[in-house]
Amino acid sequence: MEFLLDGGQEAIRLLVNGDPETYSAIRATVAVSSLSVLASLALGIPLGFGLGYADFPGRRALRTMADTALALPTVVIGLVVYALLSKQGPLGHLGLLFTLPGIAIGLTILGVPIIVSLTATAVEGLDEDFRHTVLTLGANRRQMLLAGLWEARYSMMVAAVLAFGRIVSEVGIAMMVGGNIKWHTRTITTAIALETGKGEFATGIALGIVLLGIALAVNSGIVLLRKRARL
């Protein structure tokens, strides 16, 4: 038990003193997570809205695929992205393997199904009277789509927060695609795994504290958004 207390004290010292290695992992995590969430939103919201709003052949099958993709094993995603970005892969010439953008690609694949599925659910849950009201007011197709997006905005915000929480805590994809390179692609989760394996519990605990803080902020955001949606 003492090593946990000593590790906690050392963790606070590292954070307060601005340990370069610790904050390097934090910066890498914030950068790659932000990029992944933005890409997931850009891809997932239009796809999810179309899936939940439009009625077309094969819609149910696509909806099932989107929901199934929520359970994709992260190591499989990491393996596929690694194969695509390696020198022997079709995208090897881009030089994205063992880079933060490369990690972001894998994390985006992880985040998109979350955005698509939850956005589609939010749009499907719109009151039918809402659509009739908008049409009665003389809205055209574009205005109706924008009104639907606005009506489902809080649900989509919750989807974004959930996707961020899933992305920021991922270790398998970051390890396989990023390579856990110090000062370059080492994120909070990969650094925790490495430092703990080396017996450096202080650094691991310090990064764990940061990750818990992020998780708390994400959960607080979800609670606030849900309260706002009920108003």
Q: What is the CATH number of the domain that holds 226?
A: 1.10.3720.10
Q: In which domain, by residue range, is 143 found?
A: 2-230
Q: Cβ neighbours of residue 8 under 8 Å, at least 6 residues apart? A: 205
Residue 82 pLDDT > 90: yes
Q: How many domains does the chain have?
A: 1
- HEC-encoded secondary structure of 151-217: HCHHHHHHHHHHHHHHHHCCCHHHHHHHCCCCCCCCCHHHHHHHHHHHCCHHHHHHHHHHHHHHHHH
Q: For 97-145, what is each residue's pLDDT tens digit?
A: 999 999 999 999 999 999 999 888 888 877 666 666 666 666 666 777 7
Considering the chain, what percentage of its residues have pLDDT values greater than 90? 28
